[in-house]
Chain A
Amino acid sequence: MPHVLKPLLALAVLALLSPAARAERLLLSNEKDNTVTVVDAASLKIVQSVPVGARPRGLILSKDGKSVYICTSDADHIEVLDLATLKVTANLPSGADPETFAISPDGNTLYVANENDNSITVVDVPGARVIGAVPTGVEPEGMAVSPDGKLLINTSETTSMVHFINPETRKMIGGVLVGQRPRYAAFTPDGKQVWVSSEVAGSVAVIDVATRKIVSTIRFQIPGVPRETVQAVGINITADGKTAFVALGPANRVAVVDVASGAVEKYLLVGQRVWHMAFSQDGSRLYTANGVSNDMSVIDVAARKVLKSVPVGQEPWGVVDVP
């Protein structure tokens, strides 16, 4: 190594050690090899592979930015990964088979979808205890909390419904039938719409929150790609609320959708079986977890181009960007 680089390296090491100056990182849950891969966002190099509980899937960054919650589905609990040490420091109860979850705006409550027992478990994070449960449809999956925290959304896959739940009373207040196997729900930043992907139907339902009615259904037709492989999963909407990115599973594409018109503007070729995605802190990049090709694609959001693929663990499922 040229000696001029040594001071730089030292600085880099210092930066890594100092929490304040720590670089942005990506964490991916690998459901098959029970690890979380930590990737440095600047260099796109793997920093560490952290062993966690069985079948890690859903990931959420805590509101204080100090830890990441992991749904370790087959371990039947949520693990708390400390971002300073990159070690699992605590477990939270979750009910059986937690797959995905959502967090309240104050960061104190997690709403967990228990895929095997048709219920949502409400977890008090500071107290590390279960404080409630909401019975729901068959195979609950997608979870989302509205920006104001007053509405909880759950999708149930076999029931093919989007359930509207009051998080305070934990009572269902309504439901909308959507395409088969609804998997993911995302609010627009203004909280006026919730977008729900249906994996088997291969479509996205745009639902008006106030009326609880589907206002439009977005379908995807990719030239040269069989309709049967278009299986919509993750949805990420830009902070300005103008553009939605929809992961299309085994079609190996991410659709770029204009939120106002619902028009699909572009398909980006990513890795195989793209599941879930995360924006960088500044929103300039989008990272995708590709379950079959075992890698992460890096998308330039403004240019709408795929920049790079980064090999990660076995069957990456979720990804979260941590500052």
Chain B
Amino acid sequence: MRSADDRRRMGWGARRLVPALMLAAALTPAGAFAQANGPQTNAAAASGPVEITYLALDAPRPRPSTELTPPPKDLGLAGARLALADDATTGRFTGQEFKLDEAVGADAAAVTAAFKARLAAGTRNFVTDLPAPLLLTLADLPEAQGATLIDATSTDDALRGADCRRNVLHMLPSRAMFADALMQYLVVKNWRHIMLVQGKDPADALYAAAIRHAAKKFQVSIVADKPWSFNAAAQQADTGHFQVNTEVSNLTQGISYDVLVVADEADNFGDQLGYRSFLPRPVAGTQGLTPSAWSPMFDEMGSRQLQLRFLALAKRMMTDRDYGAWLAVRAFGEAATRTASADPAAMATFLHGTDFTVAGYKGPPFSIRPWDGQLRQPVLLADDRSLVSISPQPGFLHQFYETDTLGTDKPETTCHMS
């Protein structure tokens, strides 16, 4: 999910940052990674290369009606490639070698076959870009029980809840974390009355459910909760914008609220709500002010360096999917480096332990929540042109980790890994 959102973020919204970054990227000599020639400080540590398989389903994704530019082919994968380069540079100093095996299947059968073949060949480290049902099928295979599947791209709460698996870790924030991040911000702004508009897709229902749950948790009142049933393609027709404008006016008329929150993960209509509501009110959720793992507008906390490295490699801005894949390959890299081992079992133990952290350029170290395999992290709140805020918001405190005010905390978890 969020692929449409990612595409949108790479469009006009990213343009402003690009020239400055391009300039800096242009100054980076090609093949800089290849120049590193430090001595091996820990040569005895590694026993063979650290092999990581990037397993993805290349499913045709529905194109949003407002789409003008096609999505890049390497969404997610580019992040994994960058992380491999980062891991490999460290490896040159620690005497470890890293390999990324890219296995992209056209359908579930092809992905399953690729997965089984790698397992048979001894590979245990997987980064996945798969829909939830396929991910679960693979994780439940008997031969996969000794493997580690790092889910780089899903935001599905069930995968962190009732459908959680001991051999699966999650890099991107869940929908619940996104919704909590947004609600905390609305509370800080004292915008406590929202109108919720939900799209037709199953993913939209999940996003809306997360918003409802978060609203209750943070005592934000949903004064109206409506489905979007208008033809999503209307905007594409000549003068269709008049129709859309009338429709949005009608939908929002007579309702008093502070923010219009939209659940439209595929970008079918959410961008057509702003400036068209009956009352002049901001849009948030999957469009407008959007909670996200990453944003082209984010350049704090050293993130600029990651943005520049990614831009130099992929010739485009980094999206949530790329960021999740980058985190996943970096997580394996950290596990190998810190355990001074290429043994997947030792790496898996480390990844699940309390000593594992990865530096994700958003301030605090990211660690794994042991109760559901979710990577702790702050959530960005940004629109297409600016970073608005980062949650957790100041004042939302937690006994152990402030980032655990986002998403499902230990007492509420429905994940019971045996």
Given A135-B36, A139-B305, A175-B38, A200 and B359 contact (CB-CB distance below 8 Å): yes
A200 to B20, CA, bound (A): 27
Nearest opposing residue in chain A for B26, CB measure = A96
Instruction: Give the contacts of B15-38 with A (CB-CB under 8 A).
Output: 20, 24-25, 27-29, 32-33, 35-38
A250 proximal to B (CB < 8 A): yes
B363 proximal to A (CB < 8 A): yes
- Cβ–Cβ < 8 Å partners of A174 in chain B: 39, 41
B337 contacts A180, C-beta separation under 8 Å: no
Q: What is the CB-to-nearest-CB distance from A151 to chain B, in angstroms, rounded to a whole number?
A: 15
B93 proximal to A (CB < 8 A): yes
A11 to B359, CA, bound (A): 54
Digitize B71-108: 1 where CB-to-A-CB distance is under 8 Å, 0 elsewhere. Answer: 00000000000000010011001100000000000000
Instruction: Give the contacts of B137-190 with A (CB-CB under 8 A).
Output: none
A137 contacts B93, C-beta separation under 8 Å: yes
B403 contacts A116, C-beta separation under 8 Å: no
Nearest opposing residue in chain A for B25, CB measure = A116
B308 proximal to A (CB < 8 A): yes
A229 proximal to B (CB < 8 A): yes
Nearest opposing residue in chain B for A201, CB measure = B365
Given A116-B308, A174-B39, A200 and B24 contact (CB-CB distance below 8 Å): no
A226 contacts B36, C-beta separation under 8 Å: no
B218 proximal to A (CB < 8 A): no
A282 proximal to B (CB < 8 A): no
| Interface hub of B37, B86, B93 (most chain A Cβ within 10 A) | B93
A228 contacts B27, C-beta separation under 8 Å: no
B39 contacts A116, C-beta separation under 8 Å: no
Given A136-B36, A228-B402, A228-B403, A159 and B302 contact (CB-CB distance below 8 Å): no
B35 contacts A119, C-beta separation under 8 Å: yes
Q: What is the CB-to-nearest-CB distance from A294 to chain B, in angstroms, rounded to a whole number?
A: 15
Interface size of A by Cβ–Cβ distance < 8 Å? 37
A180 contacts B357, C-beta separation under 8 Å: yes
Digitize A152-191: 1 where CB-to-B-CB distance is under 8 Å, 0 elsewhere. Answer: 0000011111010000000011111100110000000000
B364 proximal to A (CB < 8 A): yes
B230 proximal to A (CB < 8 A): no
A208 proximal to B (CB < 8 A): no
- Cβ–Cβ < 8 Å partners of B37 in chain A: 135, 172
Q: What is the CB-to-nearest-CB distance from B24 to chain A, in angstroms, rounded to a whole number?
A: 6
B191 proximal to A (CB < 8 A): no
Digitize B301-342: 1 where CB-to-A-CB distance is under 8 Å, 0 elsewhere. Answer: 010010011000000000000000000000000000110000
B275 proximal to A (CB < 8 A): no
A35 proximal to B (CB < 8 A): no
Instruction: Give the contacts of A199-257 with B (CB-CB under 8 A).
Output: 200-202, 226-229, 231, 250
Q: Contact check: which of A119, A136, A200 meets B357 at CB < 8 Å?
A: A200
A301 proximal to B (CB < 8 A): no
Given A138-B89, A201-B357, A176 and B365 contact (CB-CB distance below 8 Å): no
Q: What is the CB-to-nearest-CB distance from B300 to chain A, in angstroms, rounded to a whole number?
A: 10
B24 contacts A228, C-beta separation under 8 Å: no
Nearest opposing residue in chain B for A115, CB measure = B305
Q: What is the CB-to-nearest-CB distance from A272 to chain B, in angstroms, rounded to a whole number?
A: 11
B401 proximal to A (CB < 8 A): yes
A139 to B32, CA, bound (A): 12
Q: What is the CB-to-nearest-CB distance from A97 to chain B, in angstroms, rounded to a whole number?
A: 6
| Interface hub of A137, A160, A228 (most chain B Cβ within 10 A) | A228
- Cβ–Cβ < 8 Å partners of A119 in chain B: 32, 35
Nearest opposing residue in chain A for B400, CB measure = A227
Q: What is the CB-to-nearest-CB distance from A171 to chain B, in angstroms, rounded to a whole number?
A: 8
- Cβ–Cβ < 8 Å partners of B86 in chain A: 138, 158-159
Instruction: Give the contacts of A275-290 with B (CB-CB under 8 A).
Output: none
A180 contacts B359, C-beta separation under 8 Å: yes
A13 to B266, CA, bound (A): 68
Nearest opposing residue in chain A for B89, CB measure = A138
B27 contacts A96, C-beta separation under 8 Å: yes
Q: What is the CB-to-nearest-CB distance from B40 to chain A, in angstroms, rounded to a whole number?
A: 9
A76 to B41, CA, bound (A): 32
Q: What is the CB-to-nearest-CB distance from B181 to chain A, in angstroms, rounded to a whole number?
A: 15
Q: What is the CB-to-nearest-CB distance from B280 to chain A, in angstroms, rounded to a whole number?
A: 32
- Cβ–Cβ < 8 Å partners of B308 in chain A: 116
A169 to B42, CA, bound (A): 22
B90 contacts A228, C-beta separation under 8 Å: no
Q: Contact check: which of A117, A181, A201 meets B27 at CB < 8 Å?
A: A117
- Cβ–Cβ < 8 Å partners of A91 in chain B: none
B365 contacts A163, C-beta separation under 8 Å: no
A180 contacts B93, C-beta separation under 8 Å: no
B364 contacts A116, C-beta separation under 8 Å: no
Of all A-B residue pairs in the complex, the 3 with the closest CB atoms, nearest first, are A228-B364, A96-B27, A135-B35
What would be 24 A-B contacts, judged by CB atoms less than 8 Å apart? A76-B27, A97-B24, A115-B305, A117-B29, A118-B33, A118-B35, A119-B32, A135-B36, A135-B37, A137-B36, A137-B89, A138-B90, A139-B305, A158-B359, A159-B89, A161-B93, A173-B39, A175-B93, A176-B41, A177-B42, A177-B337, A180-B358, A180-B365, A227-B401
- Additional A-B contacts beyond A135-B38, A137-B38 (9; CB < 8 A): A76-B27, A118-B89, A137-B89, A137-B90, A172-B39, A175-B93, A176-B41, A177-B338, A231-B364
